[in-house]
Amino acid sequence: MSNRQMTLAMQLGNGYGMQGGAWRAPGVDPANYVNFDAQVRYAQAAERGKFTFLFIPDFLVQTGELVHEAPHLTLDPLLTAAAVARETSHIGLIPTGSTTFSEPYTIARQFKALDVMSHGRMGWNAVTTSDPGSAANFGAQIAPRPERYQRAHETIQIVQALWGSWEKDAWLKDTASGRFANPTRIQPVNLQGEYVASRGPLPIPPSEQGQPVIFSAGGGPNVLELAGRYSSGVIGAVFTIEDARAQRNAIRDAARKAGRNPDEVKFFAGLMPAMGATKRAALDRRVALGEYTFPARVPYLGSMLGLDLNVNQIDQPLNPAQLAVAHASPFDPRSPRALEIAREGWTIRDILAHGVIDYHPTPVGPAAVTADHMQEWFDAEAVDGFWLLFDVYEDAIDTFVDEVVPLLQDRGLYHREYEGATLRENLGARPQYGLDPRLTI
């Protein structure tokens, strides 16, 4: 048996969970949209399960359908991280920050202040921001990729240089000699790029891990190049083991090309388990959560199966004539799975309860189903770990921690304790302070 162990992360989004009806699920306070105590409770639940980090996505725009669904995101990722950092001790925090709509000095200052505040548990998910709605909130339009990614490279390098500008031995705090700091160890960075620049220095000493780690999300060629050079982890969206392995290999190749050891970049696949004592119980939970969202999804499910589906049929399975012509759409990678479930004879509502239109794979049933799925992907070396997107935070995190985590631990696939106190230690990321000296600008 190999000693490889998987790393787990959790998505922290709005105050409810990842299914449309989570805000009105039993036991959930419908006002949690603005409740930071709830976010802290969810983080503490994940920490009880020894999760390595919380991933906090961000789009700079209102999300969600709003009539029946809550917005998908936290009010502000960095302020959420601050609230959580003060009430947790080991779990890492990786909020998202835009390289396009923030200045490097602002990013450097906020993330490093949080790194000091959390005693070395911060990461930065660096995204370029690609949706027009976000740009509109800054009175701008989305620039072409070459421009966005050039600015991203410049921003990350300036941020890292600023992080290292208060050198490790600069802070003397020597009461006997009366010397607070050694200014010769606090240097400007004087970096001027095509799009961004900063003089520095940044007046923040190193945290327990030196400086935050960098993460990336997504898998296009530009994201890969960025991740290969700077990132310690990539958050991905993949539907099959084959896709996951291909993504992981592409990321590892990108790291090699940048002159790094491929093991320095870990790949995390999203996972949305539907848990219940039985498969039927797990489906019923999702059916209740999808009371309003499922009917609206019927036509789209039809397009995934090459059928013209009507919402009136939602509580019936596909009929023989439909099954005879149904085929998986080549335009949506989730279609083969949807077809497979449809052919098992489930009603359309139950097909949707299997999560076939959700953003990540959904194992359905008792804890062992989720544990088996995770083991299969991990043993196939398709992932280094998973980021879990729970349907209702209020109870699903605890269910996973109490039921799935022990199975993974008993199988030797998952740690029983945190390896260290900082995110770098728990992630197995190498020490870095300032720019990576292996990178040529």
276 sits in the region (left: phi over 0; alpha: psi -120 to 50; else beta) called beta
In terms of Cα–Cα distance, which of 87, 95, 9, 80 is closest to 51?
9
- Minimum CB distance to ligand FMN, residue 96 (Å): 4
> Which of 160/222 has CB closer to ligand FMN?
222
- Minimum CB distance to ligand FMN, residue 178 (Å): 47
Distance CA(22)–CA(47), nearest Å, equals 22
> Which of 150/313 has CB closer to ligand FMN?
150
In the complex, which residues of this chain contact ligand FMN (CB under 6 A)? 57-59, 96, 127-130, 145, 217-218, 220, 222-223, 235-237, 270
Task: Give the other-Cβ count within 10 Å of 36's Cβ.
Answer: 17
> Which of 211/247 has CB closer to ligand FMN?
247
> Is the bond preceding residue 57 a cis peptide, omega within 30 degrees?
no
422 sits in the region (left: phi over 0; alpha: psi -120 to 50; else beta) called beta
- Minimum CB distance to ligand FMN, residue 197 (Å): 23
Sort strands 233-236 and 213-217 into parallel, antiparallel or unpaired. parallel
> Which of 39/130 has CB closer to ligand FMN?
130
> Which of 103/284 has CB closer to ligand FMN?
103
Distance CA(261)–CA(228), nearest Å, equals 10
Distance CA(176)–CA(439), nearest Å, equals 40
100, two tokens: 């396009």
H-helix segments, 194-272: 221-230, 241-257
How many Å separate Cα 192 from the centre of its chain? Answer: 31
- Minimum CB distance to ligand FMN, residue 217 (Å): 3
> Which of 127/374 has CB closer to ligand FMN?
127
Kindly tell me the sign of the dihedral angle through the C-alpha atoms of 384, 229, 104, 116. Answer: positive
> Which of 149/294 has CB closer to ligand FMN?
149
Each as own residue / partner, the long-range contacts of residues 243-249 (CB below 8 Å, 24 or more positions apart, any chain) are: 243/333, 244/269, 244/377, 244/382, 244/383, 245/380, 245/381, 245/382, 247/219, 248/381, 248/382, 248/383, 248/384
Are the C-beta atoms of residues 231 and 215 closer than 8 Å to each other? yes
Distance CA(159)–CA(124), nearest Å, equals 11
- Minimum CB distance to ligand FMN, residue 236 (Å): 6
- Minimum CB distance to ligand FMN, residue 206 (Å): 27
- Minimum CB distance to ligand FMN, residue 261 (Å): 24
In three-state secondary structure terms, 172 is strand
> Which of 226/318 has CB closer to ligand FMN?
226
> Which of 161/226 has CB closer to ligand FMN?
226
> Which of 100/165 has CB closer to ligand FMN?
100
Task: Give the other-Cβ count within 10 Å of 3's Cβ.
Answer: 5
Whose tokens are 């399960």? That residue is: 49
In terms of Cα–Cα distance, which of 298, 288, 283, 289 is closest to 350?
283
- Minimum CB distance to ligand FMN, residue 122 (Å): 16
> Which of 13/365 has CB closer to ligand FMN?
13
- Minimum CB distance to ligand FMN, residue 170 (Å): 34
- Minimum CB distance to ligand FMN, residue 327 (Å): 26
- Minimum CB distance to ligand FMN, residue 61 (Å): 9
261 phi and psi, to 5 degrees?
Answer: -75, 125
2, two tokens: 């190999």
